[in-house]
Amino acid sequence: MKLLRYGPKGQERPGLLDAEGRVRSLSGIIPDLAGEALLPGSLRRIAALDEAALPLVEGRPQQGLRLGPCVAGTQKFIAIGLNYADHAAESGMAVPAEPVVFNKWTSSISGPDDDVELPRGSVKTDWEVELGVVIGQGGRYIDEARALEHVAGYCVVNDVSEREWQTERGGTWDKGKGFDTFGPVGPWLVTPDEAGDVAALGMWLEVDGKRMQTGSTATMIFGVAEIIAYVSRFLSLTPGDILTTGTPPGVGMGMRPPRYLKAGEVVRLGIDGLGVQTQRVVAPR
pLDDT > 90? residue 179: yes
Contact call for residues 143 and 254 (beta carbons, < 8 A):
no
Cα–Cα distance for residue pair 255/229, rounded to 1 Å: 33
pLDDT > 90? residue 109: yes
> How many independent structural domains does the chain possess?
1
Contact call for residues 192 and 222 (beta carbons, < 8 A):
no
Within 150-248, residue ranges assigned H as helices are 163-167, 174-177, 192-195, 224-231
Contact call for residues 187 and 277 (beta carbons, < 8 A):
yes
- Is residue 218 in a domain? yes
- Is residue 156 in a domain? yes
- Is residue 89 in a domain? yes
- Is residue 128 in a domain? yes
Side chain identity, residue 196: G
Contact call for residues 206 and 108 (beta carbons, < 8 A):
no
- Is residue 166 in a domain? yes
pTM over 0.85: yes
Kindly list the distances between the CA atom of residue 94 and the CA atoms of 90, 102, 129, in Å, as whole numbers in the listed order: 10, 17, 21
- Is residue 265 in a domain? yes
What percent of the chain clears pLDDT 70, i.e. is strictly above it? Answer: 100
Name the band, by pLDDT with cuts 50, 70 and 90, for residue 94: confident
pLDDT > 80? residue 64: yes
- CATH of residue 118's domain is 3.90.850.10
- Is residue 16 in a domain? no
Q: Which domain holds residue 79?
A: 71-282
pLDDT in tens, 7-29: 999 999 999 999 999 999 999 99
- Is residue 12 in a domain? no
C-beta contacts of 219-223 below 8 A and 24+ residues apart? 219/84, 219/85, 219/86, 219/248, 220/83, 220/84, 220/131, 220/245, 220/246, 221/82, 221/83, 221/84, 221/85, 221/95, 221/96, 221/246, 222/80, 222/83, 222/99, 223/199
